[in-house]
């Protein structure tokens, strides 16, 4: 009887961990979508300011490279399939091909990069290490976004940087510091590994 009870408890623990992971992935899909709805248009740029990058880097740190990139790939996939979860309540493949398409692809890569860096020192990461990991994710997002603007929209590198990076520096710094601080405060709970 004791062996059967132990096996059943092990299955419950596995089920609970799987359920927790599924809930966390779903939560970050929703939070990234909500971050898209917080939108500040910039008159000289086709790319608005949103809160999405905040949730993308937090997602990578909290969920790790696999689940973080899964959450962001799911977010992008749902938007491409027609759910109005992109900025400006946009949806569909044409939105992905628009000026923010590079950033959306960058969300997937950035959450993977942040997660991979944080995973290396998950238990011992201090605030400066977390800031470093999240900064690398931000650089990935902007590299994808600027490249898309420069190549896909023939804006040229200088114009793409002035439209797709420079206006975002102050807000991105605030999001980066806040996300790193939040993660450093809750990382010890072990529900994310």
Residue 1 in any domain: the answer is no
Residue 74 in any domain: the answer is yes
What is the number of domains present in the chain? 1
Instruction: Output the pLDDT for position 192.
Output: 47
**Residue 38: which of 147, 171, 185 has the closest Cα?**
171
Domain containing 46: what range? Answer: 25-188
Instruction: Output the pLDDT for position 111.
Output: 98
pTM of the model: 0.88
Residue 129 in any domain: the answer is yes
> What are the pLDDT digits (tens) for 63-87?
999 999 999 999 999 999 999 999 9
Q: Which residues of the chain have pLDDT under 70?
A: 1-15, 188-193
Residue 2 in any domain: the answer is no
Residue 138 in any domain: the answer is yes
The tokens of 139 are what? 């650089």
Instruction: Output the pLDDT for position 95.
Output: 86
φ/ψ of residue 71, rounded to 5: -60, -45
Does residue 47 contact residue 99 with C-beta atoms inside 8 Å? Answer: yes
170 CB contacts (<8 Å, ≥6 apart)? none
Instruction: Output the pLDDT for position 63.
Output: 95
CATH assignment at residue 86: 1.10.1760.20
Residue 15 in any domain: the answer is no
Rounded Cα distance, 150 and 153, in Å = 6
Instruction: Output the pLDDT for position 96.
Output: 87
Instruction: Output the pLDDT for position 7.
Output: 47
């Amino acid at each position: 009887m004791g062996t059967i009870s132990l096996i059943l408890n092990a299955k419950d623990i596995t089920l609970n961990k799987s359920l927790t992971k599924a809930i966390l992935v779903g939560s970050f899909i929703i939070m990234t979508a909500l971050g898209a709805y917080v939108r500040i248009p910039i008159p000289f740029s086709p790319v608005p300011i949103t809160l999405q990058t905040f949730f993308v880097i937090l997602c990578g740190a909290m969920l790790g490279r696999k689940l973080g990139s899964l959450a962001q790939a799911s977010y992008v996939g749902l938007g491409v399939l027609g759910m109005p979860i992109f900025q400006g309540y946009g949806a569909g493949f044409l939105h992905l091909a628009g000026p923010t398409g590079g950033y959306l692809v960058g969300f997937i890569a950035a959450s993977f990069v942040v997660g991979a860096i944080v995973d290396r020192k998950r238990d011992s990461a201090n605030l400066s290490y977390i800031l470093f990991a999240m900064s690398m994710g931000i650089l990935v997002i902007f590299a994808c976004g600027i490249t898309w603007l420069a190549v896909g929209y023939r804006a040229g590198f200088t114009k793409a940087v002035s439209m797709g990076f420079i206006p975002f520096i102050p807000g991105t710094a605030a999001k980066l510091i806040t996300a790193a601080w939040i993660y450093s405060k809750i990382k010890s709970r072990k529900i994310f590994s």
